Amino acid sequence: MKNMVRRYINNTFFFLFIWIIFYNYYVIKLINNFAKQNDKYIAFSFDDGPNDTNTINILKTLKKYQAKATFFLIGSRIEEYTVKKNIYEKYNCEIGNHSFMHENVQTNDINSIRNSIIQCQNAISKTFDVVPTLFRAPYGEINDDVLSLLKELNMTPIRWSVDSEDWCTDNKDYIIANVLNNIADGDIVLMHDRNQITIDALDFILDKLNQNGYSFVTISELFKIKGLELNSGKIYNSANRKNDLIK
């Protein structure tokens, strides 16, 4: 009788122990999933690079805040500047296509646009050993013909939802205000890889957003985190608003 009682007690404690382990596992998993759903993510993007001086300083500033970003490169500048082959990979950043000569795709004929995009792809592939799937049109404008071309090339057009306007000012505070006053979870921020003022503003912006619980990822990672699929036949402004799928 005593042995039966002892065996019952032991079995009870064993199953209680197993239950506690599984309970804690699922509770922790539930908490982590809830926390992940409530995390705030944004993607910074930098156009018009590479640049021998600014590119590395932007990358170092990003690293300071454990941030990633997407760089839309101009093909002719890849050949012009002496950027290191693995520089973007080293800092866990993403490369996108920004045309070969920064042509306006709204006004050029479709064959010229095709050649420009392919030339840029070739320059990026040759130098960085990657083939971009993201395309940002110079000036951000895309017509139906270009959209069809990008679908044919299996490339996704990306715009932005927050414009820092670092391209039209030398005022650091103006750039900072443009970003911080308009930012939201899922946004894509437009900046440029050509001016020191951008780097100065970026450091302040990342610090403030970091304090407010934002994480900084590449554009591709942003859409994956948000459970959204990037398709080559659509234009994307951000990963946070219903109207940001604009075509």
102 assigned to active site = no
Q: Any residues with CB less than 8 A from the CB of 194 and at least 6 apart, and which?
A: 48, 49, 51, 54
Residue with tokens 């994956």: 224
Which two three-digit tokens encode residue 81? 């500047």
94 beta partners: 70
Q: Which among 187, 192, 193, 244 is annotated as catalytic?
A: 192
192 assigned to active site = yes
Distance (Å, rounded) from C-alpha 120 to C-alpha 150?
A: 13
Q: Any residues with CB less than 8 A from the CB of 180 and at least 6 apart, and which?
A: 205, 208, 209
Which two three-digit tokens encode residue 77? 């500048």
**Packing angle, helices 196-211 and 54-64, rounded to 10:** 10
Distance (Å, rounded) from C-alpha 118 to C-alpha 110?
A: 12
Catalytic residue numbers read 47, 192
